[in-house]
Amino acid sequence: MGGWIRVGICFGTAVMLISLLLSGEISLFVNPRLKWLVALSILMLIILGLVQLWNLKAEEMHHIGFWGYALVLLPILMFFFLPPKALDANIAAKKGVSYLTPQAIASQQKLAGKNQANNNSTQDSKDQNEQDQETATNKEPEFANIENPYKKFVKQIKAEPVITLTEKNYADYLNTINMYPKEFSGKKIRLIGFVYRDETLKKNEFVIGRFTVTCCTADAGVVGLLTTYPGAQHLKLDQWIEATGTVQTIQPEGYDMPVIKLTSYKTISPPKDPYIYFNY
């Protein structure tokens, strides 16, 4: 009996992966660049399944209990009874959404560090501040000559009549706009994403977000652009939209931060592959 279960596990897992590859739903779990590894896994599983068939009549070397098989069978059963589903705004709320510029994030971290230091003694705070200043002074020359890899995109983006964020350039363009917001102030922009909102945003604010995946959905993060719109409160959480607006610059933390002034939008269906990927 155990032999047949092992055969079922090998071929069942192979069938599951083949189905995900053919349907394109494999991108809901792993970066498309890793498809070749999935294909290699399918080949190995088929070989292992054939080996298990060959050894069906052989005596088992050691007994494997029910729970040992159940843990391996669980993903296969879940695949056949629970259809694959993309990450949504509920997951985004748990992971947190990054729509601040790196400078603004650094400012918040610095402020949090100061508040933590205030809870310590005056002498400890003084020593810590001196140490931070010394560290910053020592690090400045080290990074002074390092060129920002996104600087090369500034000229390219500014040349476009309308900044259009596509699946291929989304991550690179988004990071460039975040790092050089003043360069794009007044430019029209078009992008798609899902609506995200939390209690920290005003009634006329929301974030047009996208999930980024490096390896698999376990490491997925959420990025987006803060957007203002008078009817923002009427947009539903997790609603996918194609938005058009104008890039503006604000200074909520004393640093330049891009924000989209929405001029128009339309509701769309989620793309087949809702994730975006960094071009490493």
Looking at the chain, list the stretches that DSSP marks H as alpha helix, in order from N- to C-terminal side. Answer: 2-23, 35-54, 66-81, 89-95, 102-118, 122-144, 152-158, 170-179
Per the domain annotation, does 19 fall within a domain? yes
Is residue 36 one of the residues assigned to a domain? Answer: yes
> Quick check: is 229 in a domain?
yes
Q: Are residues 166 and 261 in the same domain?
A: yes
Task: Determine the pLDDT at residue 100.
Answer: 54
Answer yes or no: is 195 within a domain.
Answer: yes
175 and 241: one domain?
yes
Q: What is the mean pLDDT of each run of 10 residues along the chain (280 residues)?
A: 80 92 88 91 93 79 72 84 79 68 45 49 52 48 57 89 91 89 93 89 90 85 90 90 94 84 94 80
pLDDT value for 132:
53
pLDDT tens per residue, range 124-146 = 555 555 555 554 444 444 444 45
Of 269, 259, 257, nearest to 104 (Cα)? Answer: 257
Whether 45 and 99 map to the same domain: the answer is no
Pair 184, 221 in one domain: yes
Number of domains in the chain: 2
* Model pLDDT, residue 264: 93
In this structure, the answer to whether residues 206 and 81 fall within a common structural domain is: no
Q: Is residue 237 part of a domain?
A: yes
In a domain, 203, yes or no: yes
Closest CA to 241 of 251, 227, 255: 227
232 neighbors 204 (Cβ within 8 angstroms): yes
**Same-domain status, 61 and 165:** no
Structural domain includes residue 225: yes
| pLDDT score recorded for residue 41 | 94
Regarding whether 213 and 199 lie in a shared domain, the answer is yes
Same structural domain for residues 99 and 51?
no
Q: What is the CATH number of the domain that holds 261?
A: 2.40.50.200
pLDDT digits (tens, 9 = 90+) for 34-89: 899 999 999 999 999 898 888 877 776 666 777 777 888 888 888 888 888 887 77
- Regarding whether 224 and 196 lie in a shared domain, the answer is yes
pTM of this structure: 0.71
CB neighbourhood size of 86 (10 A): 17
238: which 2 tokens?
Answer: 């997790």
**Whether 151 and 200 share a structural domain:** yes
Q: Are residues 15 and 46 in the same domain?
A: yes
Which of 263, 279, 247 minimizes the C-alpha distance to 167? 279
Q: DSSP string of 154-215?
A: HHHHHTSSEEE--TTTHHHHHHHHHHSGGGGTT-EEEEEEEEE--TTS-TTEEEEEEEE-SS
Q: Tell whether the torsion through CA atoms of 132, 133, 134 and 137 is positive or negative.
A: positive
Shared-domain flag, residues 81 and 190 = no
The pLDDT value recorded for residue 143 is: 41
- 121 domain residue, yes or no: no
Q: Domain limits at 58?
A: 2-85
